[in-house]
């Protein structure tokens, strides 16, 4: 390539749509600013302005099959001659209509895109089909009265209308109730599924157990201290849950027992009621000491009741009598 060669940046790549002859002419005119057209330079630079099917066509050319840019251009035009059939003419603009709910901005953008696809289109003929395509309404009536003579005059009127539409849309967005954002979607058609499932912790602090929550849940379920929820897991469609996670309390997949906020709150409530002391460090010993003390108190109370129910002794007489071999014997008698 030449020493100070630069590729033109304003030429759009050819994408199998449009007149291939027009693309060749634009390419040659752009390349002219780099100096005299040289076949080697033109052939090297031409693939840069091809895209999609056109680029695939170039890549399929056999090595050594092109001897000059004229031959390359002729092969390119012949191959994509059929593409000219799909190129729209100026009459196509009259078929573009603004949709019932389409904003003026979207309509004019779509109309401008259509004009870009029409080769060698005279801008002077844009205005009539652009006005004719407006949907019935206040803006169309204003245009009919004002009768803008140029596209620039039409765009000035359209700019004010587009600003008005954007303000109206912004007001609608602010006034629109946001119930849909806060509502949990219904799953499976169950009546209770429309209610939001809020997983919020109910306690400020939680007890540290000496056993995993999953094991505690299983044991108290087997002991029938608690019952599993009647509608366990109905708040989540089981077809789309993580099968690697299982909750022993809900007996469903989707989350683990340690992650389950409901099970965590339930265990904390039972712990504060003193029903899970054996799973809490330190409470096992206090519990055994308390049970021992209660048994001693019950035994003492039993002895007291025994004497209170029968005739209680009036006193106790202790006496020491002489024994054998210097020994002594102590006896006591009740009276």
More confident residue, 196 or 294: 294
69, 102: one domain: no
Distance from C-alpha of 254 to C-alpha of 177, rounded to nearest angstrom: 32
d(CA 164, CA 161): 5
Question: What gap in Å lies between CA 31 and CA 37, rounded to an integer?
Answer: 7
What would the pLDDT profile of 272-309 be if each residue is shown by its tens digit? Answer: 888 888 888 766 545 555 555 666 666 655 555 554 55
- Asked whether the beta carbons of 72 and 44 are under 8 A apart, the reply is no
Query: How confident is the model over 65-81, as a mean pLDDT?
Result: 89
> Which domain-ending residue is among 175, 205, 240?
175
Please tell me whether residues 94 and 52 are part of one structural domain. Answer: no
Rounded Cα gap, residues 14 and 77, in angstroms: 12
Instruction: Please tell me whether residues 49 and 96 are part of one structural domain.
Output: no
Question: What pLDDT is recorded for position 228?
Answer: 74
Choice among 121-130, 135-144, 290-299 with the minimum mean pLDDT: 290-299
Q: In this structure, is residue 287 part of a structural domain?
A: no
For 214-241, what is the mean pLDDT? 71
Q: What is the pLDDT of residue 19?
A: 80
Q: How many domains does the chain have?
A: 3
Whether residue 113 lies inside any domain: the answer is yes
The string of pLDDT tens digits covering residues 248-281 is: 888 887 788 888 888 888 888 888 888 888 888 7
Query: Which is higher by pLDDT, 184 or 225?
Result: 225
What is the residue range of 215's domain?
195-279
Better-scored residue on pLDDT, 219 or 321:
219
Same domain, 155 and 210: no
- Does 4 fall in a domain? no
pLDDT tens digits, one per residue of 40-51: 888 888 999 998
Max intra-chain CA distance, the chain: 150
Distance CA 183, CA 163 (A): 33
Give the model's confidence band at 70: pLDDT under 50 very low, under 70 low, under 90 confident, else very high: very high
Report yes or no on 307 lying in a domain. no
> At a CB cut-off of 8 Å and minimum separation 6, what does 86 contact?
17
| Joined tokens for residue 330 | 């102590």
């Amino acid at each position: 390539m030449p020493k100070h060669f630069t590729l033109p940046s304003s030429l759009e790549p050819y994408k199998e749509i449009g007149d291939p002859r027009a693309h060749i002419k634009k390419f040659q005119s752009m390349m002219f600013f780099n100096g005299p057209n040289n076949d080697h330079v033109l052939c090297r630079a031409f693939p840069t302005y091809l895209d999609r099917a056109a680029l695939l066509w170039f890549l399929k050319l056999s090595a050594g099959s092109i001897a000059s840019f004229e031959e390359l251009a002729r092969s390119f035009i012949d191959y994509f001659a059929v593409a000219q059939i799909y190129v729209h003419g100026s009459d196509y603009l009259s078929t573009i209509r603004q949709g019932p709910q389409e904003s003026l901005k979207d309509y004019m953008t779509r109309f401008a895109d259509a004009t870009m696809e029409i080769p060698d289109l005279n801008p002077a003929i844009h205005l009539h089909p652009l006005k004719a395509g407006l949907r019935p309404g206040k803006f169309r009536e204003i245009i009919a009265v004002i009768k803008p003579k140029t596209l620039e005059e039409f765009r000035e009127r359209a700019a004010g209308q587009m600003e008005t539409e954007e303000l109206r849309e912004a007001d609608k967005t602010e006034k629109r109730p946001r119930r849909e954002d806060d509502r949990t979607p219904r799953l499976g058609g169950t009546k209770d599924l429309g209610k939001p499932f809020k997983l919020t912790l109910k306690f400020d602090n939680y007890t540290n157990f000496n056993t995993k929550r999953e094991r505690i849940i299983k044991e108290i379920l087997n002991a029938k201290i608690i019952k599993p929820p009647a509608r366990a897991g109905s708040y989540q469609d089981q077809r789309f849950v993580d099968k690697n996670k299982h909750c022993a309390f809900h007996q469903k997949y989707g989350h683990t027992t340690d992650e389950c906020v409901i099970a965590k709150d339930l265990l904390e409530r039972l712990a504060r009621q003193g029903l899970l002391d054996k799973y809490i460090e330190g409470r096992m010993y206090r519990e055994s000491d308390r049970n021992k003390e209660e048994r001693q108190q019950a035994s003492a109370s039993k002895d007291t009741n025994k004497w209170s129910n029968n005739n209680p002794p009036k006193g106790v007489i202790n006496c020491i009598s002489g024994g054998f071999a210097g020994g002594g014997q102590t006896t006591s008698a009740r009276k």
